[in-house]
Amino acid sequence: MNGAESLVRTLVASDVDTCFANPGTSEMHFVAALDRTEGMRSILVLFEGVATGAADGYWRMAERPASTLLHLGPGLANGLSNIHNARKACSGMVNIVGEHATWHLEFDAPLTSDIEGLARPLSDWVRTSRGAQAIGQDAVDAVAAARGAQIATLILPGDTAWNDGGIIGRGCETDTDAAVDPDAVDAATRALASGEQAMIILGGRSISGEALDLAGQIAGKTGARVATQFFSARTQRGAGRVPALRIPYNVDAALTALKDYREIITVETGEPISFFAYPDKPSQMKHPEAQVTQLCPRGVHGLGALRALASAVGAKPDDAVRQERSESLLPTGALNPTTIAQILAVLIPENGIVVDESVTTGRESFPVTAGALPHDWLQNMGGSIGYGMPVATGAAIACPDRKVISLSGDGSAMYMIQTLWTQARESLDVTSIIFANRSYKILQQEFAGVGAGEPGAKANAMLSIDNPALDFVAMSRGMGVPAVRVTNCEELIEALSRRLEESGPGLIEVML
Amino acid sequence: MNGAESLVRTLVASDVDTCFANPGTSEMHFVAALDRTEGMRSILVLFEGVATGAADGYWRMAERPASTLLHLGPGLANGLSNIHNARKACSGMVNIVGEHATWHLEFDAPLTSDIEGLARPLSDWVRTSRGAQAIGQDAVDAVAAARGAQIATLILPGDTAWNDGGIIGRGCETDTDAAVDPDAVDAATRALASGEQAMIILGGRSISGEALDLAGQIAGKTGARVATQFFSARTQRGAGRVPALRIPYNVDAALTALKDYREIITVETGEPISFFAYPDKPSQMKHPEAQVTQLCPRGVHGLGALRALASAVGAKPDDAVRQERSESLLPTGALNPTTIAQILAVLIPENGIVVDESVTTGRESFPVTAGALPHDWLQNMGGSIGYGMPVATGAAIACPDRKVISLSGDGSAMYMIQTLWTQARESLDVTSIIFANRSYKILQQEFAGVGAGEPGAKANAMLSIDNPALDFVAMSRGMGVPAVRVTNCEELIEALSRRLEESGPGLIEVML
């Protein structure tokens, strides 16, 4: 067995059975090993950012890592921006990066680069395999890191892949119990009993399932408020779930929302920080006198800590206030952020997954969709646009029985538009909704926000993408995904309703 | 004047008057400064790899650097693969990367990352501006590095951009005379007089203009052979120019082509190295006993050294053998690599620029097009696919009076397909020809080459992109570029002839 085969077999044995791949010559032995190994699903993508974004989406929904297969330093480089987003989301993944054979490196061939150097700034775990015999154990260590919500990058020189002597690695055990810090539970208990207004800010895997409900029970018992950051990796919401206040993006609005809270308890997240820096505005958005207590750090599942805290304060299931189902009416007429949100509130299917990169258009949709059927809502944690369509792809692979709705602005959709082809190839049940405002509208708002005044002609040219107009219907069909364009509420309702009755991929271009 | 304005004004004063940009919030003051500054052409792109690839193409044709404007670490990350390609081509560029305000960094906001760490593996020069007053001088130093064929990356924290106190930097002087090492000239003179068969391998800017002709004169005088690597940044070729042997890509073929040469003189390049490593094949493709003499290192213009060598050996203009114009006949019938090359040989216009990322389809086109009208041929130096369409864009910006033909495989075209929109927006005279073989055909060849045997079903799925079929005509029109599909020689001849009579962008999908 060569090194490449030992790698594939070790990954499968370690429950990593999905690989988002764009291979090249240096990865051919890994590709060949796929033929000899049962149990690894390999999914071809046309650009590496699609692979890493899909691995992010896969982790968020499956709660276990996928792997990626990337072609040397430049292949890794193309995947880095979505690795950045995944890392900020605390999504674990195993990146396999091919490398020239060790004896070829000194000659500085065209594709030679410092792969470890490129990997390190955005990886938590980096290793270059030292030989075919070592790869199995390297893979076990990489998977262990990834299961711990880390970015693991394993670099595989060609000769270590094709040489014989591979040994399947075993024994990748991860403590799936969430670690609990008793001092943190005590501190949070005291904070909730202090008499000050308290906020429990949830992040990571704590805005889901039992953890979210426990937070709601604690809040109901103590009078605290459950909240989330403006962006969260995965929020379970809708009818029957504990609703959480979403801290605003706008700094002034966030300062107002937070001004009365003197005790802040964080679970899998930090204190509220402004997304960007602005002249004369603070980075920290809490009240200056607010105390912050970290119940559970990022990357550690908050469930155990929330169980302990609920027990400490004596919270019971009946203490939680849960969201009522709101029976909204479908709007008619012009499409705008509000009517779009009203349509989503009615049409999001039960157990649907919404991947939100709608930027400006979707900014106001959260309150309107609060009483929709229960669903999961995924957001961009790293701020690098181009995350949405790849994450939707990975979510669909992880959850083949659930419907995925992918919301993108037109500017952000163009970053990884190649994703549509993989959705078609794999017949994924993803509906991409593109909001075509034909501008970087967020930037038009930010221009004033940073005190740059009013954009002139040259500046405006950098903020508009209306010339020429992008035709997403044509592009989508060109990649094998059926598509329609809608211009009013009636058309969007009809198109989305029809889509949700079908399976497989589709795209709706929403003209604004 | 704020720091951002001092930066734009310093760049313009330093003859950097082109910026390929995809800005975000942290770059808004730079964008605002464009309105207040004459002389900077800012070109919007939909993905950062387009910006860095365009800067590469701009350098190759203009022989001076352009700038890019990138949004924090992830924006830089998206540009890295084409920075890699540019660096291997010795193309200088100035990357401006926005960063959070310095006081915001400690809070680890979503877009925070180690930008210097990301920049360093692929940049020759990296600096983070320390304040508004420093930016002008920082920009002068960055431009000086870029003029020296280096990748310069200047990181601009938001507060240094928006604070007052900016000072326009002056005095960016670069020694444009090519440095000459007399010892190297002596060594090369001795090598040519040794009586052994000699090869002069040209790279960089030495395959153009006077440098190329001098190499031909030296070869004619001494009996040496002029050659280039398989890939070169810019090759001036066609009727009236000195023809150069292209060293084959295939290792066995290269070993055969090089077996009789015992003296190798390199100019702006190194000894021939195989592109990838293969089991049981050497990395060094020269004869084991061949001596290598470096006349001029990479990144230094070889003109001065070639002048000195021509003088030392007594070469005269009449000594050079120059290419005759070959009057080829246009083929009919089926499209294949040979007939496509025959069509190009007839239709490449005088002074045309061919950007070649045709991978397998174009591999055999070089001999057939040797006697075409004089033209420039640009190739991928770093091996990261997705270089072609962006480089064609930059070449067209640098040379608005010349026609650009961009040859891409379908797999490589999908990497930076967003480029088409910028070509439409700027009305660039670029004809994109996409060779649709619906596979990563190069990988199907490489699979056997690395000794992985015959691909099975799963491996083949990673090497084919036929399911679903990509429709480049639809995608191109969706981005505002007119497009046609051709299926035989007659149709390609008609479509390309018509395109070359028009101006502005167009795309031809060639079905193979």
Residues A246 and A289 in one domain: yes
What pLDDT score does A178 carry?
Answer: 65
What pLDDT score does A136 carry?
Answer: 97
Residues A381 and A280 in one domain: no
Of the candidates B132, B162, B192, which is a domain's last residue?
B162
Residues A302 and A385 in one domain: no
Q: Which residue pairs from B147-150 have beta carbons closer than 8 angstroms and sit at least 24 positions apart in sequence? A: B147/B64, B147/B65, B147/B92, B147/B172, B147/B174, B148/B92, B148/B174, B148/B299, B149/B90, B149/B91, B149/B92, B149/B204, B149/B299, B149/B300, B150/B92, B150/B123, B150/B124, B150/B125, B150/B299
Domains held by chain B: number: 3
Residues A374 and A285 in one domain: no
What pLDDT score does A441 carry?
Answer: 81
pLDDT tens by residue, B310-339: 999 999 999 999 999 998 889 999 999 999
What pLDDT score does B444 carry?
Answer: 84
**Residue A401 within any structural domain of the chain:** yes
- Decide: helix, strand or coil at residue A377: strand
CB contact under 8 A, A121 and B108: no
**Residue A20 within any structural domain of the chain:** yes
Alpha helices in A300-456 (DSSP H): 303-313, 337-347, 365-368, 388-398, 410-413, 419-425, 441-449
How far, in Å, CA of B102 to CA of B116, rounded?
14
Q: How many CA atoms lie within 13 A of A510 on its CB side?
A: 30
**Residue B295 within any structural domain of the chain:** yes
For the beta carbon of residue B239, count every other beta carbon within 10 angstroms.
17
Amino acid at B148: G
Mutate one of B159, B230, B384 to test the A interface: name it (highest A CB count within 10 A). B384
Contact B54, B83 (CB under 8 A): no
**Residue B43 within any structural domain of the chain:** yes
| pLDDT category of residue B373 using cuts at 50, 70 and 90 | very high
- Which helix (H) or strand (E) segment is A486 a member of? strand A483-486
Alpha helices in A110-164 (DSSP H): 115-119, 132-147, 158-162
* Selection from B105, B167, B180, B181 nearest residue B135 by Cα: B167
CB contact under 8 A, B477 and A474: yes
Range B58-97 burial, b when 16+ CB lie within 10 A, else e: bbbbbbbbbbbbbbbbbbbbbbbbbbbbbbbbbbbbbbbb
Contact A147, A64 (CB under 8 A): yes
Instruction: Find the length of chain B.
Output: 512
Residue with more model confidence, B438 or B132? B132
* Selection from B341, B371, B377, B375 nearest residue B492 by Cα: B341
Helices and strands (H and E) in chain B: how many: 20, 18
Residues A300 and A390 in one domain: no
How far, in Å, CA of A349 to CA of A346, rounded?
8
| pLDDT category of residue B448 using cuts at 50, 70 and 90 | confident
Phi/psi for A214 (5° steps) reads: -60, -40
Q: Could you give the angle at which helices A489-501 and A337-347 cross, rounded to 10 degrees?
A: 30
| pLDDT category of residue B362 using cuts at 50, 70 and 90 | confident
Residues A264 and A375 in one domain: no
Which two tokens mark A390? Answer: 């790849």
Looking up residue A260, the CATH number of its domain turns out to be 3.40.50.1220
Phi/psi for B139 (5° steps) reads: -65, -40
Profile chain A (512 residues) by mean pLDDT over runs of 10 residues: 96 96 91 91 97 98 97 97 98 97 94 97 98 97 96 97 95 70 97 97 97 98 98 97 96 97 98 93 96 96 97 98 92 94 96 92 83 97 96 98 97 97 98 91 83 87 91 98 98 97 96 92
CB-nearest partner of B109 from A80, A275, A443: A275
CB-nearest partner of A109 from B32, B78, B274: B274
Percent of chain B at pLDDT above 90? 87
Residues B15 and B145 in one domain: yes
How far, in Å, CA of A229 to CA of A245, rounded?
8
Residues 337-356 of B with CB under 8 A from A: none
CB contact under 8 A, A273 and B109: yes
Mutate one of A153, A231, A450 to test the B interface: name it (highest B CB count within 10 A). A450
Alpha helices in A298-418 (DSSP H): 303-313, 337-347, 365-368, 388-398, 410-413
Range of the domain at B491: 337-511
How far, in Å, CA of B342 to CA of B345, rounded?
5
How far, in Å, CA of B50 to CA of A490, rounded?
38
pLDDT tens by residue, B56-72: 999 999 999 999 999 99
How far, in Å, CA of B163 to CA of A177, rounded?
49
CB contact under 8 A, A32 and B117: no
Residues of A in contact with B80 (CB under 8 A): 74, 77-78, 80, 118
Residues A8 and A155 in one domain: yes
User: How far, in Å, are A53, A88, A126, A153, A419 from residue A83 at the CA level?
Assistant: 7, 9, 13, 10, 16
Residue B379 bridge partners (DSSP): B356
Residues 6+ apart with CB under 8 A from B72: A383, B24, B26, B97, B98, B99, B100, B111, B113, B115
Residues A279 and A357 in one domain: no
- Report the mean per-residue pLDDT for chain B: 95
- Cα B327 vs. chain centroid, distance in angstroms? 29
Contact A47, B414 (CB under 8 A): yes
What pLDDT score does A363 carry?
Answer: 74
User: How far, in Å, are B28, B138, B158, B253, B414 from residue B132 at the CA level?
Assistant: 15, 10, 10, 56, 40
- Which helix (H) or strand (E) segment is B226 a member of? strand B225-228
**Residue A377 within any structural domain of the chain:** yes
Mutate one of B84, B123, B387 to test the A interface: name it (highest A CB count within 10 A). B84
The mean pLDDT value for B206-230 works out to 98
CB-nearest partner of A470 from B35, B283, B479: B479
Contact A395, A424 (CB under 8 A): no
For the beta carbon of residue A271, count every other beta carbon within 10 angstroms.
16
- Decide: helix, strand or coil at residue A20: strand
pTM for the full predicted model: 0.97
Residues 6+ apart with CB under 8 A from A186: A312
Residues 53-72 of A with CB under 8 A from B: 72
Phi/psi for A456 (5° steps) reads: -85, -165
Among A176-185, B8-17, B18-27, B382-391, the range scoring the smallest mean pLDDT is A176-185
Looking up residue A154, the CATH number of its domain turns out to be 3.40.50.970
- Cα A104 vs. chain centroid, distance in angstroms? 37
CB contact under 8 A, B77 and A85: no
How far, in Å, CA of A119 to CA of B117, rounded?
10
B230 interfacial to chain A (CB closer than 8 Å): no
How far, in Å, CA of A454 to CA of A121, rounded?
36
Which two tokens mark B140? Answer: 């002068």
What pLDDT score does A436 carry?
Answer: 93
- Which helix (H) or strand (E) segment is B29 a member of? helix B28-35
pLDDT tens by residue, B169-178: 987 766 555 6
Is residue B309's pLDDT more than 70?
Answer: yes
Contact B407, B358 (CB under 8 A): yes
CB contact under 8 A, A414 and B418: yes
Of the candidates B319, B353, B369, which is a domain's last residue?
B319
**Residue B168 within any structural domain of the chain:** no
Residue with more model confidence, B139 or B460? B139
- Decide: helix, strand or coil at residue A265: strand
Residues B265 and B149 in one domain: no
Residue A424's closest chain B neighbor by CA? B468
DSSP B287-324: -TT-EEEEEE-TTS-THHHHHHHHHHHT--GGG---PP
What pLDDT score does A443 carry?
Answer: 84
Amino acid at A142: A
The mean pLDDT value for B415-420 works out to 98
Which two tokens mark B185? Answer: 């000239």
Residues 95-124 of B with CB under 8 A from A: 100-101, 103-104, 107-111, 113-114, 117-118, 120-122
Residues of B in contact with A294 (CB under 8 A): none
Per DSSP, A325 falls in state P
Residues A309 and A208 in one domain: yes
Alpha helices in A15-71 (DSSP H): 28-35, 48-62
The mean pLDDT value for B173-186 works out to 80
Of the candidates A102, A129, A162, which is a domain's last residue?
A162
Residues B436 and B310 in one domain: no
Longest dimension (CA), chain A: 69
What pLDDT score does A174 carry?
Answer: 64
What pLDDT score does A175 carry?
Answer: 59
Phi/psi for A492 (5° steps) reads: -65, -45
**Residue B373 within any structural domain of the chain:** yes
**Residue A173 within any structural domain of the chain:** no
Which residue's entry shows tokens 């390190």? A120
Report whether the peptide linkage leading into residue A482 is cis, meaning its omega lies within 30 degrees of zero.
no
- C-alpha Rg value of chain B to the nearest Å: 23
For the beta carbon of residue A190, count every other beta carbon within 10 angstroms.
13
